[in-house]
C-alpha cells in the first residue's frame, strides 16, 4: 500500500514524512530494496499545494527538486483517479503525460517516476518509429498505461492525428516549459488544443517546470506563461 498516493492532498509536511516512513517499512518486508523516499522540503510542498489548486509553473534552479514536485502531483492525481474508479465501474481512467524537450530526458525523467510511482509507465520517443504507428497500436498502449513520458512533438502529433483527446488526460507536465514559444510543440499543444476546449471541467491540470525562464521581453514572459499553463 502506498500511503502517499491515497492521502497526499491534505497532509502537512511532518505527516508526509511519517507516512512515507511507514510505506518504506511495509515495502521493505516484501522487496529486497526500497524505492527512494519522498521527503519534500517545505518549499516543494508549498508549490505542490499551489499546483493542486491551479495550473502552475515552478521556476527553480537545477537540482532544486522540480521533478519531485511533479511526482507528488502525479500521486495526487492518481489518487483522484483511483477514487473515481472505485465510485463507478464505468469510469474510464485518465492518463498523465510527462512531456520533455529531448529524447535523453524521456529516459531520465521516466527513471525517476519508475522509482517513486507505483504505476504503469510508458517511455516513448521518435526513435521507436512512433510516427508510423496505427490508431490500433496507439490505443493498445494508451488504454493500458497510467503515465506516458514522451517528447512533446509526439504528443502534439497524436493529438493532431486524433489518436488521443485531451478529455483522456488528467495531468500535463511540461518539462523545461520555457520552450513554450512560437511554433514549439509545447506552445502548439496549448494554442491548438488546450485553449480550444470551452468546458473547464474537461481540461487537464497543467504543471510546468523550468530553471531558465529566459525571454526577450516582459511581454514574451507573460504571453508564454499564460498560454503554457492555461490561466
> What's the whole-number average pLDDT of the chain?
81
Angle, helix 42-53 to helix 66-87, in steps of 10 degrees: 40
Q: Is 59 exposed, middle or buried (0-12, 13-18, 19+ CB in 10 A)?
A: middle
Q: Report which of residues 217 and 72 the model is more confident about.
A: 72
User: What is the rounded distance in angstroms from the CA atom of residue 227 to the CA atom of residue 53?
Assistant: 18
pTM of the model: 0.79
Q: Report which of residues 198 and 80 the model is more confident about.
A: 80
Q: Are 20 and 68 in contact (CB under 8 A)?
A: no
pLDDT of amino acid 33: 34
C-alpha cell, 58: 515552478
pLDDT of amino acid 182: 81
Q: Are 188 and 226 in contact (CB under 8 A)?
A: no
- Give the sign of the dihedral formed by CA 18, CA 57, CA 201, CA 81: negative
pLDDT of amino acid 117: 92
Chain-centroid distance of CA 74 in Å reads 6
Task: Write the CB contacts of 132 (distance below 8 Å, at least 6 apart in sequence).
Answer: none
Average pLDDT over residues 213-229: 53
| CB neighbour burial string for 60-71, b if at least 16 within 10 angstroms, e if fewer | eeeeebbbbbbb
Q: With 80 as the cut, is the pLDDT of residue 61 above it?
A: yes
pLDDT band at 214 (very low <50, low <70, confident <90, very high): low
CB atoms within 10 A of CB 74: 25
pLDDT-above-90 percentage for the chain = 58
User: What is the rounded distance in angstroms from the CA atom of residue 214 to the CA atom of residue 46?
Assistant: 24
Q: What is the pLDDT of residues 63-114, one digit of tens each?
A: 788 899 999 999 999 999 999 999 999 999 999 999 999 999 999 999 999 9
Amino acid at each position: 500500500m502506498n500511503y502517499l498516493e491515497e492521502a497526499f492532498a491534505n497532509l502537512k509536511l511532518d505527516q508526509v514524512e511519517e507516512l512515507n516512513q511507514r510505506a518504506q517499512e511495509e515495502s521493505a518486508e516484501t522487496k529486497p530494496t526500497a524505492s527512494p523516499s519522498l521527503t519534500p522540503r517545505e518549499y516543494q510542498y508549498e508549490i505542490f499545494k499551489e499546483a493542486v489548486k491551479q495550473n502552475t509553473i515552478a521556476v527553480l534552479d537545477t537540482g532544486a527538486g522540480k521533478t519531485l514536485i511533479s511526482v507528488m502531483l502525479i500521486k495526487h492525481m492518481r489518487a483522484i483517479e483511483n477514487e473515481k474508479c472505485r465510485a463507478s465501474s464505468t469510469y474510464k481512467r485518465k492518463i498523465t503525460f510527462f512531456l520533455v524537450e529531448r529524447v535523453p530526458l524521456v529516459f531520465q525523467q521516466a527513471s525517476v517516476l519508475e522509482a517513486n510511482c507505483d504505476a504503469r509507465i510508458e517511455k516513448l520517443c521518435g526513435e521507436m518509429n512512433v510516427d508510423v504507428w496505427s490508431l490500433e497500436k496507439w490505443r493498445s498502449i494508451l488504454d493500458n498505461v497510467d503515465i506516458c513520458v514522451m517528447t512533446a512533438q509526439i504528443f502534439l502529433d497524436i493529438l493532431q492525428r486524433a489518436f488521443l483527446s485531451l478529455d483522456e488526460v488528467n495531468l500535463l507536465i511540461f518539462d523545461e516549459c520555457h520552450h513554450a514559444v512560437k511554433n514549439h510543440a509545447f506552445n502548439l499543444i496549448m494554442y491548438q488544443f488546450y485553449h480550444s476546449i470551452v468546458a473547464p471541467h474537461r481540461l487537464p491540470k497543467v504543471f510546468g517546470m523550468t530553471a531558465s525562464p529566459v525571454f526577450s521581453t516582459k511581454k514574451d514572459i507573460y504571453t508564454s506563461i499564460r498560454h503554457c499553463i492555461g490561466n
